[in-house]
Amino acid sequence: MDLKTVARDKLKWEAIRGDSRAQVIGGSAVGLVVLLVVLLITLTTCGGGGGSGARANGKDDADKPAKGPSEAVVTVAPKDGADGVRTSGELKVAAAKGKLTKVTVQDSKGKKVKGALAEGGAVWRPSTHLSAGTKYTVDAIAKDSEGRASAKHATFTTFVPQNTFVGYFTPENGDKVGAGMPFSINFNRPVANREAVEKAISVKADPQVEVAGHWFGNQRLDFRPEEYWKAGTKVTVDLNLSGVEGSDGVYGTQRKTVKFTVGRQQVSVVDAKKKTMTVTRDGKKIKTIPITSGRPANPTYNGKMVISEKHEVTRMNGDTVGFGGEYDIKDVPHAMRLSTSGTFIHGNYWMAQSQFGQVNGSHGCVGLFDMRGGGANGTPGAWFFQNSMVGDVVEVKNSQDETIKPDNGLNGWNMSWEKWTARQ
């Protein structure tokens, strides 16, 4: 019941009783009612209910962004417009009285430089070297403690080195190869900073598998997985060598991507004692062929050897591999190289067919019966040539020679994974 009703009921009660003071009391009650109504209105207006002002609108002055310029100061090293900048150690973006929120560094072709924030967002540095002779653009934004942004734009150009090195690699871009093919790169000048050079070369496989590099001396670097590549694997190599200091004052110039595909997994096992070769493809035996290998005075290397070259017909001269004038055959058919030192698996037309599978009579190569002139002539030599690709593996066992050295050809498979990945 409200106050007006109370006052009205009291007036009615006094009138019934005939109290002569009714008018006086009534007047006082009306005044009381008016006073109470005014008080209620005043309380409601002063915030007892719905509220008013900034809070009534659901806003707070504290949520409004601060006005005025940002206190954050962005700096870029090297300075804007600099030329002849070194490719490592000079690029740095920093923020004073604030934190960096965005840093973009890219070359004139739009290729971005990867980097990372450090020191709580106060500093950004690139995670890799820069390319030589390249113009870069830097755009950075930082915010102060009040959320006010400050930006910086700058450009600079890296130096063009006078002394350079390049790498010659196999396989080539777009090649389809066998499962034993490593990515091998030979540099035209010695590399002293091997860690920096190796870091600049990325090798990725699909399906994914760990790939590691191994140095043979200071001019050759090979990459391979622990086991042979799986059939159908797609390999992508990123050569980011431009601007890498390989040796004191000598810089790389290459910047390219190389892609190759693994066609299948073919391994042919030569048993020098049995004088046979068994060809297995993707785990299935497809053919056994009689062979001849190195004679007792010149046995064939044992070990896993990768086919690195294929020649329909080629010349083989003993003078080139330390055998003097013992032989000079100008038309060796279906020849495939297995080592740098001169080991081949090839067709042989100068031995009687009956000797294959019976006699080891070569100077260290693996021979298959063949006909002169090469071509698809139906011989074992022709069949194996047509059914082999660069990157296939030929493994020799039970020979009287030593195991071939891992760097004699593309033959790093003769090194354990532990040794391959050990720091050199």
Catalytic residue numbers read 346, 365
Retrieve residue 303's tokens: 């070990």
Determine which helix (DSSP H) or strand (DSSP E) holds 173, and give its type and residue range: none
**C-alpha to C-alpha distance for 306 and 310, rounded to whole angstroms:** 11
Phi/psi zone of residue 249: left (φ > 0), alpha (ψ -120 to 50 degrees), beta? left
Q: 78-81 long-range CB contacts below 8 Å, 24 or more apart?
A: 78/156, 79/154, 79/156, 80/153, 80/154, 80/155, 80/156, 81/154, 81/155, 81/156
163-165: strand order across its sheet = 163-165, 250-252, 245-247
Burial class (CB in 10 A: 0-12, 13-18, 19+), 266: buried
Retrieve residue 216's tokens: 């043979």
Which residues have a Cβ under 8 Å from the Cβ of 188 and sit 6 or more positions away?
165, 166, 167, 168, 219
SS3 for 108-123 is: CCCCECCEEEEHHHCE
